[in-house]
Structure 1
Amino acid sequence: MIPLEAPELPGMEDFFPEPFLFEGTPFEFNRIMLVRMVAVVFICLLFGIGASRVKLVPGRFQGALEMALQVVRVNVAEAVIESPVLARRYTPALTVIFFGILALNLTGIVPLLHIAGSSVVGVPIVFAVFAYVLFVGAGIRAQGFGHFFKNQLFPPGVPWPIYFLLTPVEAFSTFVVRPATLVIRLLANMIAGHILLALTFFGTHYLLFYASGLLKGVSVLTFGASILVVLLEILVAVVQAFVFSLLTAVYIQLSVSEH
């Protein structure tokens, strides 16, 4: 009987796989990039097929897509952005953020992929920069360049000596903390989720195939824990996508409204 090879303990190296295409160039392609490409292709195909089959009386597939789109339109854009015109204007961008992050988050529980495309910092940064451009651009468009930055950095009704303290705080909070917290929140949750999933499935595999005696029975418990973690990760994936798009809408509203 050929002995089984012991499984490799999951760790941070999971997030930095070796490239298998274009190694040593700016276009290095590794497993994380492949996972991201799969997620992007899937979400584009999903909505592309839905758009190509639109009917006046929707079927189940079209109805499900419309309900999903309505979540962003009603519960994010219209619920946060006070102006109906602005809510309609920014709904497409908020929809891209929500479903893009959701697809990349859910790859962490897909067999053969096993890692969230958003669990490496590149994707959270891209979406945070997109959100940054959205809310700064919305403020400039609504108020004008000078008036927007004046309102953000010099809130009215404050004694002028206070501005020496308040203006740096406002600048740091608005233009640094907002995008940084978007990145950190998404990244930390996806990293933690991957490690938790990997450890529970690793424990199940190890106990089932390498433990002896009664310890093999413990694999039933760890497998049950793995299923619960998978369900938790689905919830976290949805919540993080929703929170990211919701905060982007909040920042847009704060930018277009005068203090």
Structure 2
Amino acid sequence: MKASDEFQAPGLDLFSFPPLWPGAPYWLTKPTLMAVVGAVLICVLMWAAFAKPKLVPRGLQNIAELGYVFIREHAARPFLGKDADSWMGLLLSIFFLTWIWNLMGVLPFVQLPVSSFLAFPAVIAFSVYVIKIYVGVREQGARDYVGNLIPRGLPKVAYVLLVPLELLQNFVTSLFTHMLRLAANMFAGHLILAFFSAVGFWFLFERPTLLGVPVGVLGVVMAIVMTGFEMFIQFLQAYLFVLLTAMFIGASLNPKH
């Protein structure tokens, strides 16, 4: 049997895109275009929802306000307390932008979760990282900001190991955890959907056989089920991304120690 006659599972080539046209800059690819489209779309939708707000919200304003209340009550207030309202513009923007980037993975003709490309969540995560440090230094002073990261009242010998770990966690690993959690989940979800879709197409259309058709049907069913599950994960990861944002900023505003 020839290699072309064998089923090939989707691989990393799903995430490889050439420039949009010959001679275009190397970075001007479909993911970049979709990232910009998502950002513009969120700006347009938010403007349409809140440019002329009604006392009794309807339609788009109602949906946007539901999102506002959800983020305020379940992300901002638990970590930012009395400062929650002043940070809602940033948190809401991050939530909706990340969510629409995630949802692009299941949109027909797009089928590309922008957040699966590490560069895009990395830009947001790094921006939050800078804000976190700036706010911490502004509110506490540089010395107290660093000092408040370290728990107190422990045996002195514990600090030999604890101080480097706390500094590493707050100034290095927190940044990578923030962006990698989102990108890795979207990357894996896209691969899973592509796999089951490819199984269905291959065994039902490309190489239908008596034994292969049931496998193809199973692939289609799993693709449908996993699409629904992936949409839930896309929402959940957008929420967790903004939850971590609120947690990092809140820790700088209101140190525990």
Tell me if TM exceeds 0.5: yes
Give the deviation of 1:38 after TM superposition: 2.3
Give the superposition deviation at 1:219. 2.5
Provide the rounded CA distance (Å) in 1 between the counterparts of 2:211 and 2:165.
Answer: 59
Residue 168 of structure 2 corresponds to residue 172 of structure 1: yes
Give the conservation status (yes or no) of the 8 Å contact 2:193–2:227: yes
Pick aligned residue for 1:211 from 208, 211, 236: 208
Within 5 A, what are the aligned runs for 1:18-29?
A: 18-21=18-21, 23=23, 25=25, 28-29=27-28
Distance 1:135 1:18 in 2: 36
| Structure 1 equivalent of residue 250 of structure 2 | 253
**Which secondary structure does the structure 2 equivalent of 1:108 belong to?**
coil
Quick check: 1:23–1:29 contact (8 Å CA) kept in 2?
no
Does the C-alpha gap of structure 1 residues 35 and 17 become closer, same or farther in structure 2, counting only changes over 3 Å?
same
Distance 1:158 1:243, change over 3 A: same
CA deviation profile, 1:18-71 (whole Å, cap 9, x unmatched): 11247574x621111122122222222211211234212221321111111111
Following TM superposition, by how much is the alpha carbon of 1:7 offset from its aligned partner in structure 2, in angstroms?
A: 9.1
**Residue in structure 1 matching 2:178, options 171, 178, 182:** 182
Q: TM-score, normalised by structure 1?
A: 0.88
Shift of 1:178: 0.8
Aligned match of 2:67 = 68
User: What is the aligned-residue RMSD (CA, Å)?
Assistant: 2.3
Mapped pair 1:235 → 2:250: no
SS of alignment partner, residue 114 of structure 2: coil
1:108, 1:114 within 8 Å by CA — same for their partners in 2? yes
Which amino acid in the other structure matches residue 16 of structure 1? Answer: S
Runs of at least 5 residues in structure 1 that lack an aligned partner in the other structure: none
Equivalent in the alignment of 1:96: 93
Identity of paired residues, percent?
Answer: 31
How far 1:179 moved relative to its partner? Answer: 1.1
Q: Does 1:119 align with 2:81?
A: no
CA distance in 1: counterparts of 2:23 and 2:128, whole angstroms: 31
With over 3 angstroms needed to count, the CA separation of the structure-2 counterparts of 1:8 and 1:115, relative to structure 1, is farther
Shift, 1:6, TM fit: 9.6
CA contact (8 A) 1:22 1:28 kept: no
2:255 and 2:190 mapped to 1: Cα distance?
A: 39
CA shift, 1:131, in A, is 2.1
Q: Which residues in structure 2 correspond to 1:99-178 (within 5 Å)?
A: 99-152=96-149, 154-160=150-156, 162-178=158-174
- 1:201 offset after TM fit, Å? 0.8
Evaluate the alpha carbon distance shift between residue 13 and residue 147 of structure 1 in structure 2; reply closer, same or farther with a 3 A threshold.
same
In structure 2, C-alpha distance between the alignment counterparts of 1:94 and 1:19, rounded to whole Å: 32
Q: For structure 2, list consecutive stretches of 5 or more residues without a partner in the other structure.
A: none
**Cα displacement string for residues 74-101 of structure 1 (whole angstroms, at most 9, x for unaligned residues):** 11101222x31x1122222111221111
Q: Which amino acid aligns with 1:52?
A: A
Aligned residues of 2:200 and 2:217 also touching (Cα < 8 A) = yes
Amino acid at match of 1:195: L
User: What secondary structure does 1:156 align onto?
Assistant: coil
Q: Describe the superposition over 1:200-243 as per-residue Cα deviations: whole angstroms up to 9, x where unpaired.
A: 11111111112223522433222111111111111111110111
